[in-house]
């Protein structure tokens, strides 16, 4: 396949030298001397990649990148070349989707290698995007989670454990993306071609969970009108994901433990034992260790399912992902609703999104953005950012405050956790308003500097 590469540089000699290098190596090249012409060529020629100088007349490189941000997200390769580069510029470029960064003068061979590798990577991304847009695939990529350091650590752990057969315990608040992470682990593993079976134990009554997991034979109990295959067998050769495992009755946990340890199951009403081969992933918002202390969950089962634990953070604890995910949800909603709302997020919308506490986490953000896209015409305005749940800026005596209750966990402990999260959010807001000047932030927060520093240390905000 011959790729078309747009070379954008106001220096004619540099531009033509790069074009000659590309033509000699099997690429089709086109050129532009400024950002405005480059934008027109991108829209009319749809190149596969761009080699872009940043210091351009009429429209500089940064402005051009902002204008083509959606194209970059959908597989347009951008490599920056500049005589005025620094580390911060490189970091900022990578954050917005630029593939690579070279300072002039650059090594031709390294540029060609980067171009080849980048096009291969972005070709795969285009294929994934095509599959997703056709609804033919549930492929999960790292881009679906965010760009923050904390979520990158989560994904790094997920990739490491994916290559093993360890049972994985994924903990995190509701709506934080636990099931999405489970699917990501499955697709990164050697079992990716096998089945991916998800069972929500929280929606199945305790008396039916055994039948759901182990299966049953016809006539084994009332209403067992036919033989049913259990989820352990359905997941053979693949991955079994169990949501809210704490809902499994204590008396059934022994049988469950044996199935996980020995990979052998016996359906209800049968004398036949079956070998099964599956990877177990457990996703829960419950604190299983506290359920153990309350006598509601077996300790030996906990150690068996928690060979490797990943904690998915709440959205409020990774604020740098909020706007990134919001833009992704705008693109998804545009496709689903057949609309063309801009992915640009103005200051008032940004402030509203960043000041919300997101009790429903990523799921709530997705719903909020979907509603906003539905109501908007060209651009999302703050009036269309509608929150359905209580947040830090709309608590009041008329608010229907919903308090979830988990068996075995005192309400007081949940309250303390929520109060600490709220305090952390207000500390972050004070730092933001003070432009991270801690003395000024302490004054805004309303306490002396010493105690403010202690609070920053408590929440690892130093």
Q: Is the pLDDT of residue 164 over 50?
A: yes
Q: Which tokens sit at 9? A: 């540089």
391 pLDDT exceeds 50? no
Per-residue pLDDT band for 130 (boundaries 50, 70, 90) equals low
Give the model confidence (pLDDT) of 336-358 as tens digits. 888 899 999 999 999 999 989 89
The more confidently predicted of residues 275 and 126 is 275
CA–CA distance, 3 with 254 (Å, rounded to integer): 59
Instruction: Count CB atoms within 10 A of the CB of residue 411.
Output: 11
pLDDT for residue 85? 64
Cα distances (angstroms) measured from residue 101 to each of 66, 118, 212, 294: 17, 12, 53, 55
pLDDT in tens, 136-145: 457 888 999 9
Question: For position 21, what pLDDT does the model report?
Answer: 94
289 with 153, same domain: the answer is yes
Quick one: 252 and 327 in the same domain? no
Domain CATH for 442 = 1.10.10
How many domains does one find in the chain? 4
Residues 321 and 445 placed together within one structural domain of the fold: no
* pLDDT tens-digit series, residues 402-448: 565 555 667 777 677 778 888 888 888 888 787 778 888 888 888 88
> Does 86 fall in a domain?
yes
Q: Which of 154-158, 359-363, 397-401 is most confident?
A: 154-158
Asked whether residue 322 falls in the same domain as residue 445, the answer is no
Print the domain residue range for 64: 4-133
> What phi and psi values does residue 295 have, to the nearest 5 degrees?
75, 20
Residues 163 and 23 in one domain: no
Q: How many CB atoms lie within 10 A of CB 158?
A: 22
> Which pLDDT band holds residue 400 (cuts at 50, 70, 90)?
very low
316 burial level (CB within 10 Å; 0-12, 13-18, 19+): buried
Give residue 83's pLDDT band: very low, low, confident or very high (50, 70, 90): confident
168: domain CATH number is 3.40.50.300
To the nearest whole number, what is the mean pLDDT of the chain? Answer: 86
Please name the residue that has the structure tokens 């593993």: 189
Do residues 186 and 273 both lie within one domain?
yes
149 pLDDT above the threshold of 50: yes
What are the backbone dihedrals phi and psi of residue 189, each rounded to the nearest 5 degrees, phi first? -100, 170
What average pLDDT does range 322-328 have in this prediction?
Answer: 95
What does the pLDDT read at residue 392?
A: 42
Measured between alpha carbons, how far is 291 from 297 in angstroms, rounded to an integer?
6
């Amino acid at each position: 396949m011959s790729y078309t590469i747009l070379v954008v540089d106001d220096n004619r000699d540099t531009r033509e030298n790069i074009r000659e290098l590309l033509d000699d190596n099997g690429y089709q090249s086109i050129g532009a001397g400024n950002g405005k012409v480059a934008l027109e060529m991108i829209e009319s020629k749809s190149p596969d990649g761009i080699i872009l100088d940043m210091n351009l007349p009429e429209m500089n490189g940064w402005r051009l990148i902002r204008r083509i941000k959606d194209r970059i997200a959908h597989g347009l390769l951008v490599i920056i070349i500049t005589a005025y580069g620094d580390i911060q510029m490189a970091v900022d470029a990578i954050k917005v989707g630029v593939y690579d960064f070279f300072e002039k003068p650059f090594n031709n061979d390294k540029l060609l290698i980067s171009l080849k590798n980048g096009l291969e990577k972005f070709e795969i991304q285009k294929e994934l995007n095509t599959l997703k847009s056709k609804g033919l695939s549930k492929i999960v990529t790292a881009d679906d989670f965010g760009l923050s350091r904390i979520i990158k650590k989560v994904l790094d752990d997920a990739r490491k454990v994916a290559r093993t057969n360890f049972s994985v315990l994924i903990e995190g608040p509701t709506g934080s993306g636990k099931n999405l992470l489970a699917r990501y682990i499955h697709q990164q593993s050697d079992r990716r071609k096998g089945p991916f079976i998800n069972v929500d134990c929280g929606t199945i009554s305790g008396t039916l969970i055994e039948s759901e997991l182990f299966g049953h034979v016809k006539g084994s109990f009332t209403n067992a009108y036919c033989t049913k295959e259990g989820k352990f067998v359905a997941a053979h050769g693949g991955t079994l994901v169990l949501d809210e495992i704490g809902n499994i009755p204590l008396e059934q946990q022994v049988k469950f433990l044996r199935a996980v340890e020995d990979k052998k199951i016996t359906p209800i009403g049968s004398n036949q034992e079956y070998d099964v081969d599956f990877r177990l992933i457990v996703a829960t918002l419950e604190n299983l260790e506290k359920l153990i202390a309350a006598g509601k969950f077996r300790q030996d089962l906990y150690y068996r399912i928690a060979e490797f634990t990943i904690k998915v953070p709440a959205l409020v604890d990774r604020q740098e992902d909020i706007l990134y995910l919001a833009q992704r949800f705008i693109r998804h909603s545009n496709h689903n609703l057949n609309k063309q709302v801009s992915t640009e997020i103005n200051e008032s919308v940004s402030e509203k999104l960043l000041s919300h506490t997101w009790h429903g986490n990523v799921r709530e953000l997705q719903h909020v953005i979907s509603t906003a896209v539905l109501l908007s015409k060209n651009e999302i305005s703050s009036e269309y950012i509608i929150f359905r749940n209580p947040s830090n800026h709309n608590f009041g005596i008329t608010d229907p405050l919903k308090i979830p209750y988990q068996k075995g966990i005192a309400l007081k402990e949940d309250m303390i956790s929520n109060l600490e999260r709220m305090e952390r959010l207000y500390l972050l807001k004070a730092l933001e308003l003070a432009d991270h000047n801690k003395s000024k932030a302490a004054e805004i927060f309303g306490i002396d500097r010493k105690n403010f520093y202690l609070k920053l240390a408590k929440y690892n905000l130093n």
